[in-house]
Amino acid sequence: MKKSTKFLRPGLLAGLTLAALGLQALPAAASTDYPPAIWNPAASCNYSSRTASVTHVTVHTTQGSYAGSISWFQNCSAGVSAHYVIRSSDGQVTQMVREADKAWHVGNSNGYTVGIEHEGYINAPSTWYTTAMYNASAALTRDILASRGLAQKVYDGSGGWNAVPSDSLYNVKGHVNYASQTHTDPGSGWDWPRYKSLVAGGSGGGGDSGGGALSWPVVQYGNSGERVRTIQYLLQQWGYSLTVNGSFDTATQNAVKNFQSSHGLGADGIVGNATWPALTIVTQQGDSGAKVRAVQSQLNESGYGLTVDGSFGPATYSAVRSFQSAKGLGVDGVVGDNTWNKMAW
């Protein structure tokens, strides 16, 4: 008796048909915008034509599964879409809307943004925000920015996970970080300093450190000088109200303890190998604020004569590159772990 194929899934039926003909299934189509991605388009009813230039990238969390999100964007009942979806387990990327088109993912900011959805749930970041996902997402974001000649101005989380900084300050932010939004993704568990460092190239700024974990100076109550001033500037960047006076006083010690406690570190008030990497923030051209003042002040300690104005402009960029060259680092103009470490010593 002939078997009915009525209830077979379409993909399985297609596979059986190909097998019957002695053929192999065709590989998934590749994206033309981003070749590492699979192209699996959203329903045309869930996106529209773009009229503005792309200037920003939006980081999302699906609040669901990878496969489920792809299916939902292909359903006209959704009324939503994103340009890319990334799988948690291995970082597989699927593109669903061309970057030249406007996906519907971030309300009144749709027109100038590219949206990246990350599989998972914001209340379980340690489960879903994997190394593979971070790496794949950062590579994609880096490509989106580079293809348009945009600076890598990635939000670093220093203003709080749900802050709404101006679009002029950062061109990579979370859904919650855009104005007039009702969503809270990617949530408090998204590691913005890590993501910014990865987008900047994954080297930590200043090239490879040459092997193993970095060793940092120990700075504590009673110390004074440029290292203390740097710590105070960085604490300011993280939202602590301090006077930058180069003196590791009681107020600085208390701020360090509070910072350590908030980052799951031993709250001993001493800045050493565990606290320095958490405290430092990737800083690069186009950035502004106390972290830039820390860089400028450190460079002046080495004789560069910069104005400490908190604006990472061409003069600061040139001085960072000169400092990196003098210290035997990769010369990229980005102040990441390797460059911060040389400055701290």
**Residues with catalytic function:** 117
- In which region does residue 254 sit, left (phi positive, over 0), alpha (psi from -120 to 50) or beta (all else)? alpha
Distance set, CA 68 to CA 74, 266, 322 (Å): 10, 41, 50
User: Which letter does DSSP use for residue 209 in this model?
Assistant: -
Can the peptide bond before residue 186 be classed as cis, meaning omega within 30 degrees of 0? yes
Q: Report whether 173 contacts 210 (CB < 8 A).
A: no
Q: Distance (Å, rounded) from C-alpha 134 to C-alpha 31?
A: 20
User: Which letter does DSSP use for residue 243 in this model?
Assistant: -
User: Which letter does DSSP use for residue 202 in this model?
Assistant: S
End-to-end Cα spacing for the chain:
81
- Spatial CA neighbour of 260 closest among 290, 227, 234: 234
- Spatial CA neighbour of 121 closest among 36, 32, 204, 183: 183
What b/e string do you get for 270-292 counting C-beta neighbours within 10 Å, with b at 16 or more?
A: bbeebbbebbbbbbbbbbbbbbb
Give the dihedral of Cα atoms 76, 82, 88, 91; nearest 10 deg.
120
Look at residue 8 and give its three-state secondary structure. coil
Q: Distance (Å, rounded) from C-alpha 257 to C-alpha 240?
A: 11
Helix axis angle for 337-344 and 314-326, nearest 10°, is: 70
Would you mind telling me the total number of residues written for the chain in this entry?
Answer: 345
Q: Report whether 18 contacts 80 (CB < 8 A).
A: no
